[in-house]
Amino acid sequence: MGIPSDPRLWRIGLVGYGEVGRILAEDLRERHLVVAAYDVKLDTTAEAPLRQHASRHHVSLLGTHAELAAYADLIVSAVTANQTVAVAESCAPAVRRDVFFLDFNSASPRAKIRAAECVGAGGARYVEGAVMTAIASYRIRVPLRLGGPSAAALHPLLVALGFDATVASDTLGVASATKMCRSVMIKGLEAMVIESFTTARSYGVEDQVLASLAETFPGIDWETQGRYFFQRAIQHGRRRAEEMREAAATVREAGLEPWSAAGTAERQAWMADLADAKIFTAGDAGRDDWRQQADRVLKAVKARPRD
């Protein structure tokens, strides 16, 4: 069965039905696209919210990677970074020739190249996609850089579906390298702010620290930035940790030791562990300022037994 030339007639298959997958599903359904999804959380204790969302937005939930791959005219992989290659391997045997496989994942250039080899072996067209900022703010219009030999062919079709896509390069890895190098800075700054502000709070010098930062960087509202950074780590620390492990791999592939990226991954994972331990009450991420969150972190740290 051939692929319709009009992308508005495509069947869209989403691999991963987390935050990114659900946002894309909502926006694509608003454009009257046919959408199906598969997530490994289906048939687990975490499946209920996924099924409720899918039912509400008329998204079909399929049973396996292979079932979704055989169904879709466009596959969008939006999973945690460490699953990038595994998803490509699981989908590859069932993907039809000439189907586009758009890899949204925050993975290293090498991981994207490995995924492309898997998908391309059967004649499907792999395109890496580098999402350049938080998708929640922009939704389907999030700035998206495309890479690979099939990027130019997919670009106008994605634009017709409502994406804000640009072609970064016909060479795989360029778009992902851009994303990963940006993440070293952005997620690293988050980790540094959390570490600096929480330590300052412990010593009672947070006002002096923020005043000094404001003097050095007068264009940044450090109170607002601190609240936002804590919020993002509380909500998405696990996913950000996986992304930063891929960023560390990217740095390592360039021949450098990824001291900053690796440390950022550990700090983001540490915040995720605290969130999993329920030290933050419901609504913290959107209501409390960073001081209240830092106090909860300090309380949890002091309560831990020392070796």
Domains contained in the chain, CATH given: 7-171 (3.40.50.720), 176-302 (1.10.1040.10)
Q: Cα 91 vs. chain centroid, distance in angstroms?
A: 20
Query: Does the pLDDT value for residue 282 go beyond 90?
Result: no
The per-residue pLDDT for range 61-119, each reduced to its tens digit, is: 999 999 999 999 999 999 999 999 999 999 999 999 999 999 999 999 999 999 999 99
pLDDT band of residue 303 (cuts 50, 70, 90) is confident
- Using CB atoms within 10 A of its CB, is residue 15 exposed (0-12), middle (13-18) or buried (19+)? buried
In the chain, the amino acid numbered 91 is: C
For 250-276, what is the mean pLDDT? 97
Structure tokens of 14? 């989403």
Pairing of strands 125-131, 143-147: antiparallel
Model pLDDT, residue 97? 94
Rounded Cα distance, 23 and 136, in Å? 8
In the chain, the amino acid numbered 51 is: R
Model pLDDT, residue 284? 46
Lowest mean pLDDT among 2-6, 72-76, 267-271: 2-6
* Cα angle 283, 81, 67; round to 5: 100
User: pTM score, two decimals?
Assistant: 0.89
Residue tagged 């067209």 (tokens): 125
